[in-house]
Each structure stands twice: as C-alpha cells, then as structure tokens.
Amino acid sequence: MAIFTGAGVAIVTPFHEDGSVNYDAFKEQIELQVAGGTDAIIVCGTTGEASTLSHEEHLDVIEYCVKTVNGRIPVIAGTGSNCTETAVYLSQEAEKRGVDGILVVTPYYNKCTQKGLYEHFKIVAESVNVPMILYNIPGRTGGVLIQPQTVVDLCRNVKNIVGVKDATGNLSGVARLMHLAGGDVDVYSGNDDQIVPILSLGGKGVISVLSNVAPKQAHDICQLYFDGKVKESAALQLKSIPLIDALFCEVNPIPVKKAMNLMGLKAGVMRRPLTEMEDEHAKVLEQAMKDYGIL
C-alpha cells in the first residue's frame, strides 16, 4: 500500500532574517497545507533547504513537523546524503521522531555506479522499519541517475523500499520504469508540470513545490484524475503551467519562497549560497501569481 496518493507538499523551511528556523511560521504553513487538502507533507527535502541545515536543525524540523501534523496526514522526511553512514543516521533518527516514511536522494558528488546506488539504498532502507521512497533527481546529483531496472530491483528485493520520486523530467524513462515494474513501484512526479502525464502512466501522485502556494489546486489535479475527470484534471494542470514555470525560473526554492513572502506566508530568507530572487524574475512571478488568482 502506498504511503500516500495525491499531492504531497515539498514544504519549505521558513527562516528568520538571522537565518534561524521560524517555527511559528512553519506551524502556520503546515496548518494551511492540511486545511488545503494536501495529502502528505515531505519535510527537509530540496525545497526545505536540507543541505544547509545542521543535523540538529534537520532533526528538530522533522520532529516539529511530526508533532504539529499529529497524525492527520503522512509526514515523510528527507534523510538522504552522499555518505551512506550519514543517511543511515538521519533515517534512524527521523524514525525515532515518528515519521511515516523517508525520502532518500541519490548520492551526489561521489558519482557511484548502479551497484553502488543499489547497495547505498539497501543499507539505508534496512536500517529502519518505515517505508522509503527513492529520490531520482539527476539535475541535483551531478547527473547520477537511478536506472529503471535498479529502481525495480530495489523495490522488489528490499521490503520497505516502496517507490520513487521521479524528477528526471524524462517521461519516456518513466514509461520504461512502469513497464518493467509491473505495479511493484509507486511513482510520484517530482515535477509539477508533469503530474497528469505521470498519473496517466500509473503514478500515485506528486511531491509538489506548487502546493506551497496552491495546495488545493495541486491536490485537485490529482483528485480529479483519480475521480475519472481526466479532462478537468488536465485543464487545471495546463492552467497551472505559467505559474509553475515562474516557480522554477530560478533554482528551487528561491522563487517559491519569494511567492510565499508575497502572499504573507513568512517563508523568510534563503540560506547561502542561495540568494534573493532577481527583480526581473520576481516581476514575472508576481504577474503569474495574479493571473492564477492567488495574489
């Protein structure tokens, strides 16, 4: 059984001006997601700037999210690292804090082989009892790609590896994965502009950046599809494209934090080396938000 179906939000980590975590704003954002129909919260991922959180902060943010959600929807924690031992540590500590699952990114920088990827994910998964989703995002990992057969082998051979967040952007690769998987892999879109195409191939939903600013719309794209209202789902997907493009006109999460700040959601600053959005891009984003009706 899937950890969740539908739209899970890849939630931001809000910061104060001094760079410390703004837990009051985080609580407000979690409550808005739950109220908006979000189907799961994915905390401390790419959008949550996990790469610039200390281990202590990382685990504190996870714990706070779990306690605030209080079982209303699943909480999935990003616990990946390019060091297998570190990924094991973060995964075990996240499990102790009560998460419903973990999301583990492809090791970056090391550029390991498919054998290395298989062993890395297997070791991490077997160190915990909660289900694990692989995170395939070659654009963030030096081009390292978990090949479809490796994904399938992991899901079939390691009992608590259940699926993959596919942020490759390669729909042909997703189709090959689905063909090989025969229903044994839960696939989530990692790109908001490909929700409906991946659902049409048998995907379970999306791990969404869009949901930070439009939780109901991200949820509805999925739910309409599941309800058999494919044309309505596709229409909402297509309506969302200009806003999605604006949310990725600079590296994530720079635009989505800007969008949230424009909405008064107190996402705060980015941690270095990320910087504030360029003015020309911010104007495009603001207009897209107005056109979409969220500003």
The answer to the question of residue 75 being in a domain is yes
Q: Per-residue pLDDT for 194 more than 80?
A: yes
Q: How many domains does the chain have?
A: 1
> At a CB cut-off of 8 Å and minimum separation 6, what does 287 contact?
246
The answer to the question of residue 11 being in a domain is yes
pLDDT digits (tens, 9 = 90+) for 77-87: 999 999 999 99
pLDDT digits (tens, 9 = 90+) for 91-133: 999 999 999 999 999 999 999 999 999 999 999 999 999 999 9
The answer to the question of residue 253 being in a domain is no
Backbone angles phi, psi at 56, to 5 degrees: -65, -45
Catalytic residues: 135, 165
Backbone angles phi, psi at 261, to 5 degrees: -65, -40
The answer to the question of residue 247 being in a domain is no
263 HSE (CA, 13 A, CB side): 24
Whole-number average pLDDT of the chain: 97
CA 82 to chain centre: 18
The answer to the question of residue 51 being in a domain is yes
CATH of the domain at 114: 3.20.20.70
DSSP type of residue 21: B
The answer to the question of residue 251 being in a domain is no
Residue 227: other Cβ atoms inside 10 A: 11
The answer to the question of residue 39 being in a domain is yes
- Tokens 């998987």 belong to 181
pLDDT digits (tens, 9 = 90+) for 149-175: 999 999 999 999 999 999 999 999 999
pLDDT digits (tens, 9 = 90+) for 14-29: 999 999 999 999 999 9
Cβ–Cβ under 8 Å, residues 167 and 196: no
Percent of the chain with pLDDT over 70: 100
The answer to the question of residue 170 being in a domain is yes
**Residue 36 domain boundaries:** 6-234
